[in-house]
């Protein structure tokens, strides 16, 4: 479980990148996709920092 938690932030950032790629390639042109990608990427960054500080 600790191994999964170490990479949870990176996985969230990659999910945000996938959402941005879907937006770029024209699946949908809604600003909601941009907002959700930004939120997921910021949450991934914060998760990565917090979890890696607590896990030794």
Whole-number mean pLDDT of the chain? 91
pLDDT at residue 14, as a whole number: 97
In the chain, what are the domain boundaries? 2-54
Task: Tell the burial category of 15 from Cβ atoms under 10 Å away from its Cβ (0-12, 13-18, 19+).
Answer: middle
How far is CA 48 from its chain centroid?
A: 10
User: How many residues does this entry show for the chain?
Assistant: 56
Residue 56 scores a pLDDT above 70: no
Q: pLDDT of 34-43, one tens digit each?
A: 999 999 999 9
Query: Quick one: average pLDDT of 8-21?
Result: 95
Report d(CA 36, CA 27) in Å as an integer.
Answer: 15
Task: Report helix, strand and coil shares of the chain as percent, to nearest 5.
Answer: 80, 0, 20
pLDDT at residue 2, as a whole number: 78
Report which of residues 38 and 26 the model is more confident about: 38
Report d(CA 43, CA 52) in Å as an integer.
Answer: 14
């Amino acid at each position: 479980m600790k191994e999964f938690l170490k990479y949870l932030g990176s996985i969230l950032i990659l999910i945000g990148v996938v959402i941005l790629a879907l937006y770029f390639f024209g699946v949908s042109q809604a600003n909601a996709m941009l907002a959700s990608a930004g939120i997921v990427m910021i949450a991934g960054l914060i998760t990565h920092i917090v979890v890696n500080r607590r896990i030794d």
